Amino acid sequence: MPSQYRAETTEAIEHARQHAVGDMVRRAALRHPDRIAVVAGEWRVTYREFDASVNRCAHALAARGLVKGDRLALLSHNNREFAVLVFAAAKLGLVLVPVNFMLGAEEIAYILGHADVSGLIAEDALLDTAAAALERAGKTGVLRARIGGSGDGWASVTDWIDGPGDESAPNVLVADDDPLRLMYTSGTESRPKGVLLSSRSLLSQYVSCALDGGMSGDDIEVHSLPLYHCAQLDCFFSVDVYLGATSVILPGPDPAALLAAVARERATKLFAPPTVWISLLRHPAFDETDLSSLRKGYYGASPMPVEVLRELARRLPDVQLWNFYGQTEMAPLATILQPHEQLAKAGSAGRAALNVETRIVDDEGRALPPGEVGEIVHRSPHATLGYYEDEEKTAAAFEGGWFHSGDLGVLDAEGYLSVVDRKKDMIKTGGENVASREVEEALYLLDGVAEVAVFGVSHPHWIEAVTAAVVPREGVTLTEEAVLAHTREHLAGFKCPKYVVFVAALPKNPSGKIVKRTLRETHAGLAGQ
């Protein structure tokens, strides 16, 4: 901004030019005031009504002392309150911290402490876990609010939304690179990293999703995957709000409920990881359900098996499919495989999205030619501001002026990306990320374990199944039941191994590093057995 301007002039210009995530709701309400914005159970509201609910909720948060920059944790399944809170926090410039509801109290406590939250909102069904996490994190003086009733020192978000309140837009200036989201993602370490996303990161990503993903304001979309996850929240729900489309929110991806919602609401659009698409195809109600309104289908988290692609094309011939590839640090979209490329480039993650550059580099950061395997790196306004309170990891991730994904891939001559391995050794099971080292650390706490390696094997439903190869200590007898019982005490259920194999030794290279590729090849047929 020119330095000769007075401070009040500069601020007036900034307000006039503001285009932040919180502004999307107001602008959608101005364009489409009477269009249905959100359907959640019996709650069916227009964009005018949705914007008013968001403003009431934002003023309620502000009245309880939350100010721009504060971190607000949200622990909940999908519901209308989640949808409202996403934008209420954005209007105040709060940094929303969505928390995986499958985590245990100890895991949540780490996030609450690391993020230094000023408040926690939890749904009634998770209140005991939330209270235990706050106690373990030593967070005694923070805002506590619940989705449902009220009492026991917890305010009611439901009352904020339904009750009387200020429906004017909060007067908070949110700049392009102000952080609005802190997403915790499992890396190779045993502790998750906090990924900071700015308003600019998110809005740039919404534009890429909308244009390359063929999205429009006429869409009616069913959202059944968890909104705490960046894919459902920021590739789909938030983009729908940006465009003025209609969002139908379900508590979870139950196949019967999902099929019924598509038919009942005449949905045109659906996102699901391959595991959920497969569950829909296998459900006995699939062929009897009227899915004729569906036109757009999206998947991610892992490639869609070719046979499933063919089956979808046969049984849903009017549905176009897109494959979205990315990661939380890219807000999260990086590349897209378009509908006309699904079979010709089956297994590919597609090409760089509209606002993204993607290349393959060697260990020195030099660009590699087509056909050579290296690390996948990106340049994009989608990219994270960095890892919260971790300059060392942030510097490593942005070395050379590119964001380093940690995934290994290869580009073909036409620029199509194939992800060939995970440099960070991440297991993606049922659409969830599991860091192998975190599971290994838990298993090493079990008496009798000499060595352990955790890896993923192909699975017809989960796509990848968490598998543990365990070397027992000499003279000790371990059982699969004992290993699984131990992991359930220390980890969320989705992180626990689906298979445990006992081995005399782990395969290692000359430097002593465990060769997990050998383990994956040796035990590739476990699901078939």
CB proximity list for 337: less than 8 A, separation 6 or greater: 322, 323, 325, 345, 348, 349, 350, 351, 416
pLDDT of residue 408: 86
d(CA 10, CA 279): 55
d(CA 86, CA 278): 30
Over residues 439-451, the pLDDT tens digits come to 887 898 898 988 8
pLDDT of residue 227: 96
Q: Whose CA is closest to 406, among 108, 185, 179, 111?
A: 185
Give me the mean pLDDT over the 468-491 stretch.
92
Give me the mean pLDDT over the 371-379 stretch.
95
Give the Å distances, CA to CA, from 449 to 162, 191, 201, 468, 503.
54, 21, 44, 11, 11
List, as one string, the DSSP characters of 317-371: TT-EEEEEEE-GGGSSEEEEE-GGGTTTTTT--BEE-TT-EEEEE-TTSPBPPTT
Q: At what angle do helices 80-92 and 47-63 cross, to 10 degrees?
A: 60
Q: Is 527 helix (H, G, I), strand (E, B) or coil?
A: coil
What pairing do the DSSP bridges indicate for beta strands 357-361 and 374-379? antiparallel
pLDDT of residue 421: 64
How far apart are the two ends of the chain, measured CA to CA in Å?
Answer: 66
**How does residue 145 score in pLDDT terms, banded at 50, 70 and 90?**
very high
CA 264-269-270 angle, to 5 degrees, is 90
Q: For residue 317, is the peptide bond before it cis, meaning its omega torsion is within 30 degrees of 0? A: no
State the chain's mean pLDDT as an integer: 93
Sign of the CA dihedral 503, 504, 508, 514?
Answer: positive
pLDDT of residue 428: 83
User: Looking at the chain, how many residues does it have?
Assistant: 529
pLDDT at 476 over 70: yes
The percent of residues above 90 in pLDDT, for the chain, comes to 78
Give me the mean pLDDT over the 105-133 stretch.
97
CB atoms within 10 A of CB 211: 13
User: Which residue bears the tokens 């989608």?
Assistant: 382
Q: Is 510 helix (H, G, I), strand (E, B) or coil?
A: coil
pLDDT of residue 189: 46
pLDDT of residue 303: 76
pLDDT of residue 24: 98
CB atoms within 10 A of CB 248: 24
pLDDT of residue 434: 83
CB atoms within 10 A of CB 318: 10
- Of residues 300 and 122, more confidence is placed in 122
CB 184 within 8 A of CB 230: no
pLDDT of residue 301: 77
d(CA 196, CA 474): 46
CB 26 within 8 A of CB 169: yes
Sign of the CA dihedral 160, 113, 428, 343?
Answer: positive
**How does residue 500 score in pLDDT terms, banded at 50, 70 and 90?**
very high
**How does residue 424 score in pLDDT terms, banded at 50, 70 and 90?**
low
Query: What is the chain's percent helix, strand, coil content, to nearest 5?
Result: 35, 25, 40
pLDDT of residue 513: 63
pLDDT of residue 50: 98
**How does residue 187 score in pLDDT terms, banded at 50, 70 and 90?**
very low
Label residue 501 exposed, middle or buried (CB < 10 Å: 0-12, 13-18, 19+).
middle
Give me the mean pLDDT over the 339-344 stretch.
95
pLDDT at 352 over 90: yes
Q: Is 410 helix (H, G, I), strand (E, B) or coil?
A: strand
Q: In which element (H, E) is residue 246 found? A: strand 246-249
The percent of residues above 70 in pLDDT, for the chain, comes to 97
Q: In which element (H, E) is residue 222 found? A: strand 220-223
Most confident listed range (264-273, 275-284, 433-442): 264-273
CATH numbers and ranges of domains, the chain: 1-30+46-174 (3.40.50.12780), 426-522 (3.30.300.30)
d(CA 347, CA 203): 28
pTM value is 0.84
Q: Is 120 helix (H, G, I), strand (E, B) or coil?
A: strand
Q: Is 394 helix (H, G, I), strand (E, B) or coil?
A: helix
CB 179 within 8 A of CB 427: no
CB 340 within 8 A of CB 346: no
pLDDT at 302 over 80: no
Buried b (16+ CB within 10 A) or exposed e, 171-202: ebebeeebbbbbbbbbbeeebbbbbbbbbbbb
pLDDT at 196 over 90: yes
